[in-house]
A = this chain, B = another copy of it.
Amino acid sequence: MASNKRIVLIGAGNVATHLGIGLQAAGYEVKQVYSRTEVSASELANRLSVGYVTSLEEVCTDADVYIVAVKDAVLTELIPMVVKGREDALFVHTAGSMPMEVWKEHAVHHGVLYPMQTFSKAREVDFASVSFFVEANGTAELAVLKEMAEALSPKVYEASSKQRMYLHMAAVFACNFTNHMYALSAYLLEKNGLPFDAMLPLIEETARKVHGLAPREAQTGPAVRRDENVMGKHASMLADEPRLQELYRMISQSIQEK
């Protein structure tokens, strides 16, 4: 799956880190890392054994693909500066919720490479089980992005900017909000001297269950069986945590509505 495409990573956060490692392992040449934060830039550059820069003017001009993986708010700001002087290259961002057209005014060749996964620097990523969604402004551009994504994962789909926005929002519920439910659970256990580890088999089974059953059919617990007794007890146990109590009430209500 080697490719002669030379890549520059703009950004050195979780997504850039894992894409960089994955693409290098798949035979791509990562040429350089840019981050305005020197610590991040050098950390990722060291992991990849490549050079880094902290100013956009110093970013090399002879790469084939520039992958911009930065916060959405920074992305639109960076785009004109990243493209300038590098107009022949292919430019992509990795953001679920940014439309492809943010590139339109600036770059001739552009697209999106969105890996729908939760990345933490401290944790290895098995790209083979990551769904990638790609979009590009032309067939040649799309082919480059597909080849790149397919070098990392067998699960590569095309998705329009609109579809990707909904995918991203759905992922916030299925991943970010889910993880917060784990965090609240851990907090309540810790507060009462109980180990979070006891919860892991339940967390595993809850995740596995929706492979076979639709989540709505898999729903269990006091809210769905309208067990006011238990819900009332939990409300009083959360009396000293008014915000958590309100969250408990709202999620229970939402379960009963769906």
Q: Are A174 and B181 in contact (CB under 8 A)?
A: yes
Q: Are B207 and A203 in contact (CB under 8 A)?
A: yes
Q: Are B176 and A223 in contact (CB under 8 A)?
A: yes
Q: Are A198 and B167 in contact (CB under 8 A)?
A: yes
Instruction: Say yes or no for A47: interface residue by CB 8 A criterion.
Output: no
Q: Which one of B118, B185, B196, B219 lies within 8 Å of A180 (CB-CB)? A: B219
Q: Are B179 and A166 in contact (CB under 8 A)?
A: no
B-chain residues with CB within 8 Å of residue A238 when the two chains form the complex: 169
Chain A contact residue count (CB 8 A cutoff): 94
Q: Are B183 and A215 in contact (CB under 8 A)?
A: yes
In chain A, positions 155-175 with a C-beta closer than 8 Å to chain B are: 155, 157, 163, 165-175
Q: Are B183 and A258 in contact (CB under 8 A)?
A: yes
A122, chain B: closest CB distance, angstroms: 7
Instruction: Say yes or no for A237: interface residue by CB 8 A criterion.
Output: yes
A76, chain B: closest CB distance, angstroms: 9
* A117-B176 CB under 8 A given contacts A71-B227, A72-B229, A73-B229: no
When C-beta atoms are compared, the residue in chain B nearest to A15 turns out to be: B220
Instruction: Say yes or no for A39: interface residue by CB 8 A criterion.
Output: no
Instruction: Say yes or no for A43: interface residue by CB 8 A criterion.
Output: no
Q: Are A166 and B181 in contact (CB under 8 A)?
A: no
Instruction: Say yes or no for A137: interface residue by CB 8 A criterion.
Output: no
In chain A, positions 78-111 with a C-beta closer than 8 Å to chain B are: 97
Which stretch, A54-62, A140-148, A246-254, touches the partner chain B? A246-254
Q: Are B165 and A178 in contact (CB under 8 A)?
A: no
B-chain residues with CB within 8 Å of residue A243 when the two chains form the complex: 254, 257
10 A-B pairs whose Cβ atoms sit less than 8 Å apart in the complex: A117-B202, A131-B201, A166-B188, A167-B194, A169-B238, A172-B222, A175-B203, A180-B219, A183-B215, A187-B258
**Which A residues are closer than 8 A to B by beta carbons?**
14, 71-73, 97, 116-120, 122-123, 125, 129-131, 155, 157, 163, 165-189, 192-194, 196, 198-207, 209-225, 227-230, 233-234, 237-238, 243-244, 246-248, 250-251, 254-255, 257-258
Given contacts A120-B209, A183-B258, 13 further A-B contacts (CB under 8 A): A97-B222, A97-B230, A118-B206, A122-B213, A123-B213, A130-B205, A155-B198, A169-B188, A173-B184, A174-B185, A175-B203, A179-B210, A180-B254
